[in-house]
Amino acid sequence: MLVQVDHLMPHGFLFIFLFSSIICTNIIHACNQTESSSLLSFILSLSSPPLNWTSLDCCHWEGISCSHNGWVTDVDLPSKGLKGGNFSLSLGNLTHLRYLNLSHNSLYGSLDQSAFFLSLNNLEILDLSYNLLSGELPDSIPSRNMIRMVDLSSNHFYGVIPSSFFQEARNLTSFSVSNNTFSGSIPSTICLHSSPLIKLLDFSLNKFSGNISPGLGQCLQLQVFHAGYNNLSGLLPEDIYNATTLEQIALPANSLYGAISNRIVNLTILTILDLNSNGFSGMLPANIGKLSNLKLMLLYANKLEGLLPSSLMNCTKLIELSLRFNNFEGDISAINFSRFSQLSKLDLMNNNFTGMLPTSLYSCKSLKAIRLSINHLKGQIQPEILSLKYLSFLSLGFNSLTNVTGAMKILMRCESLVFLSLTSSFVGEDMPSDEGIVEFDGFQKLRLLDLSHCEFSGQIPVWLSKLKKLEFLNLFHNRITGSIPSWLGTLPRLLYLDLSFNQISGEFPKELCRLPMLASEQTAAQLDRGYLELPMFASIPLILAKDTNYNFLSYAHALQYNYLSHLAPSIFLYNNSISGSIPTEIGRLQLLHVLYLGVNNFSGSIPDQISNLKNLEILDVSVNHLSGKLPASLASLNFLKSFNVSYNNLEGPIPRSTQLQSFNASVFEGNPKLCGAPLPNECRSINGVGGDNKNHQDEDQNGHQIPWFYISVLLGFIIGFWGVFGPLMVKKT
């Protein structure tokens, strides 16, 4: 028996040892009760979905991590639906906290009032981005604080960032406050006396103003400097070119000016140079090619000029080159684009380039977007463009190209093409006919086709009926004759149609009132948003009607879209010779926002069903032959921003509504039998004294006024017309 006991003793001791170890381990890892209470207090102060905090040990709670002795070190709760304020009061008790991530929630309150940084001396990572926090930052971070990364972006913080805030932040490597409302100067002296290890500074999307002061050159480890979309002005500080570790400089949409210094080539590892939408002038540095690591060069919307340096061809890693809205010049054919083997987007719109369409572009097999519009280019589109298998965006408008039919036959075979703008090119040719096109099922992905301002002769071609994904069709300002084909109403995706300023006759086809994208919310909801590789523009053209030269408002007045789905569903038939009545079926287009039928030959009454267009914002039926009364139901159109029924034969009282009475009387004039506010003539009974004499006087006056009105309406429409897209905007005055 003794032998048996001796034999069992080692196993017993082993069992006791393991059991004790488990107990000790649990004790070691058990959450500190004070910190457990603080966490519970924190979560109870908020309104949020339930978290997995059912264990007795807070170290096992969702998003919580502890040290080996039970101190809470990590609170990682991004995107948990946390809502509430004063959260930092309870978290301030977590004195061993190193990592705090509460981003993408709905927390509010101030960090300054809570003395947040004072208590969290061991905090290294702080991410409170994408919340509703507000207030000013404290004067400084305590000297004992170990903070390395601070991300307060996308909140509502305001005020000046004191330079003393960084004074004791010796370990800070990343600081982002983008998308707030901070003001004052950018604390560019951050590396002079405080944070020598800083690698990332992001001040973008705030209200910072004034010059960028010297000091960034002392940031010897700085890799990323973003300060775009502020009110910064002046020259770039010269010492920024001493920060040779910089990989990204992004300062778009400010008021910076001056030449781009030759010293920029010191930044040899720079991958992103984004200075767009400023006032930089002069020529690009001749040795810009030393920036051979550049991937993005975004210098558009400045005042840069001259030839593109030949050394630019050494930037062989470029993925996007955007120089639109500048004054660059020279023969574009001399640029050897084949060196840019990784180039995906090229935008040289609105410069002074000359020469033939560059065939070397067809060697850039990665190209997805090309925009060369508003230059002085010539030539024809060559079949070699078909080698660009990923090309989805092509804009060549406002150049002197030829052979549009040949171009369409080639481009129809570009399998990835989504956006095609050839506005004001191929001027004076015939509309691409159906011959050799209608039998071919091309343009299967095409969503936008802009052939406006080309003065094309002929009729609307049948081959357009095969474009089943077409959403936007712009044939504005051509010489199109014939009637509107009924098959336009069968295009399943069409939501924007512009046939204005043509010579179209016939009636408004009822089939057009069946467009699925304008008639069915269920169908419209299925529309693919489809991000465009380059933005498209909505501009306000000032067509002076003297000749074929068009002047456009500046870039600052343009609306920019990256999604076709952001366009207002519209039908423009303005200034044609369309006759007959406005069909009652028009009431089916309940998703329509804009309807321009003015300056045509429509007759009959305005159908009552037009009041079914509850989303209508613009309605223009002026300068037609419409008669009868204004439908009383027009008063129910609550979203109207623009309304015009002038110069018809309408009669009777203007329906009473806060909307209709808010418009100027001019939108009703030219209808001598209309009465009531906002017109000065009050409605009277049929037997009212003096009514006939007044009408005769109005008619006499009208006879002298109408010719001038036609001119003013035409110019007024053109000035206000916002539906000309693509590269149709900024021809230099």
pLDDT tens by residue, 63-78: 999 999 899 999 999 9
DSSP string, 657-698: -TTGGGS-GGGTTT-TEEESTTSSSPP--TT-TTHHHHHHHH
Of the CA atoms within 13 Å of residue 257, those in its CB half-sphere come to 6
The token pair that represents 624 in the structure block: 């037609």
pLDDT tens for 526-567 read 777 778 899 887 643 322 222 223 333 333 345 677 877 778
Rounded-to-10 torsion of CA 714, 718, 720, 725:
150
Provide the mean pLDDT of the chain: 85
The token pair that represents 621 in the structure block: 């039926």
pLDDT surpasses 60 at 477? yes
pLDDT value of residue 559: 65
The answer to whether 283 and 262 have CB atoms below 8 angstroms apart is no
pLDDT value of residue 699: 40
Report which of 170, 267, 272, 274 is spatially closest to residue 217, judged by C-alpha positions: 267
Of 226-230, 289-293, 662-666, 702-706, the poorest mean pLDDT is in: 702-706
Report which of 370, 375, 421 is spatially closest to residue 398, judged by C-alpha positions: 375
pLDDT value of residue 278: 97
Q: How far apart are CA 113 and CA 138, in angstroms?
A: 8
Q: How far apart are CA 687 and CA 266, in angstroms?
A: 89
pLDDT surpasses 50 at 518? yes
Q: How far apart are CA 144 and CA 451, in angstroms?
A: 66
The answer to whether 649 and 672 have CB atoms below 8 angstroms apart is no
pLDDT surpasses 60 at 625? yes
> 234 phi and psi, to 5 degrees?
85, -170
pLDDT value of residue 725: 39
> Across residues 698-707, what is the average pLDDT?
41
- Kindly state the DSSP code that residue 700 receives in the 8-state scheme: H
pLDDT value of residue 113: 59
Does 188 or 237 have the greater pLDDT score? 237
pLDDT tens for 385-419 read 999 999 999 999 999 999 999 999 999 999 999 99
Q: How far apart are CA 222 and CA 196, in angstroms?
A: 9
pLDDT surpasses 70 at 18? no
pLDDT tens for 273-316 read 999 999 999 999 999 999 999 999 999 999 999 999 999 999 99
pLDDT surpasses 80 at 479? yes
pLDDT value of residue 693: 38
pLDDT tens for 646-661 read 999 999 999 998 789 9
C-beta contacts of 21-29 below 8 A and 24+ residues apart: 26/57, 28/68, 28/69, 28/70, 29/57, 29/59, 29/66, 29/68, 29/70
pLDDT tens for 657-685 read 878 999 999 999 999 999 999 999 889 86
pLDDT surpasses 80 at 260? yes
pLDDT surpasses 90 at 488? yes
Q: How far apart are CA 405 and CA 417, in angstroms?
A: 17
The token pair that represents 456 in the structure block: 């094309």
Q: How far apart are CA 73 and CA 18, in angstroms?
A: 28
Percent of the residues in the chain that have a pLDDT greater than 70, as a whole number: 85
Sorting pLDDT into bands at 50, 70 and 90, what band is 713?
very low
> Across residues 80-87, what is the average pLDDT?
86
pLDDT value of residue 29: 55
Does 728 or 262 have the greater pLDDT score? 262
pLDDT surpasses 60 at 355? yes
Of 22-36, 211-225, 705-719, the poorest mean pLDDT is in: 705-719
The token pair that represents 176 in the structure block: 């982002």
The token pair that represents 94 in the structure block: 């977590």
CA 438 to mean position of chain CA atoms: 35
- Kindly state the DSSP code that residue 586 receives in the 8-state scheme: G
The answer, yes or no, to whether the previous bond of 678 is cis (omega within 30 of 0) is yes
pLDDT surpasses 80 at 478? yes
pLDDT surpasses 70 at 433? yes
Q: How far apart are CA 80 and CA 507, in angstroms?
A: 58
C-beta contacts of 47-50 below 8 A and 24+ residues apart: 47/83, 47/84, 48/80, 48/81, 48/82, 48/83, 48/84, 48/105, 49/80, 49/81
Q: How far is CA 231 from CA 60, 203, 251, 300, 560, in A?
A: 48, 11, 10, 18, 20
Report which of 322, 315, 243 is spatially closest to residue 275, judged by C-alpha positions: 322
Of all helices (H) and strands (E), which one includes residue 419?
strand 419-421
Of all helices (H) and strands (E), which one includes residue 394?
strand 393-395
pLDDT value of residue 537: 78
Does 559 or 342 have the greater pLDDT score? 342
* Residue 256 burial class via C-beta count within 10 angstroms: exposed 0-12, middle 13-18, buried 19 and up: buried
Exposure string for 203-234, b = 16+ CB within 10 A, e = fewer:
bbbbebeeebeebbbbbeebbbbbbbbbebee
Of 490-504, 533-547, 590-604, 629-643, the poorest mean pLDDT is in: 533-547
The answer to whether 701 and 679 have CB atoms below 8 angstroms apart is no
Does 211 or 726 have the greater pLDDT score? 211
Q: How far apart are CA 296 and CA 285, in angstroms?
A: 17
> Across residues 263-268, what is the average pLDDT?
96
pLDDT surpasses 70 at 258? yes
β-bridge pairing 400-401 and 376-379: parallel
pLDDT value of residue 540: 38
pLDDT surpasses 70 at 482? yes
DSSP string, 19-81: HHHHHHHHHHHSPPHHHHHHHHHHHHTSB-PPPS--SSSGGGSTTEEE-TTS-EEEEE-TTS-
Rounded-to-10 torsion of CA 627, 629, 632, 635:
60
Scan for tokens 């049948």, then name that residue.
462
pLDDT surpasses 80 at 142? no
| pTM for this predicted structure | 0.85
Q: How far apart are CA 508 and CA 583, in angstroms?
A: 7
Sorting pLDDT into bands at 50, 70 and 90, what band is 704?
very low
pLDDT surpasses 50 at 10? no
CA 455 to mean position of chain CA atoms: 31
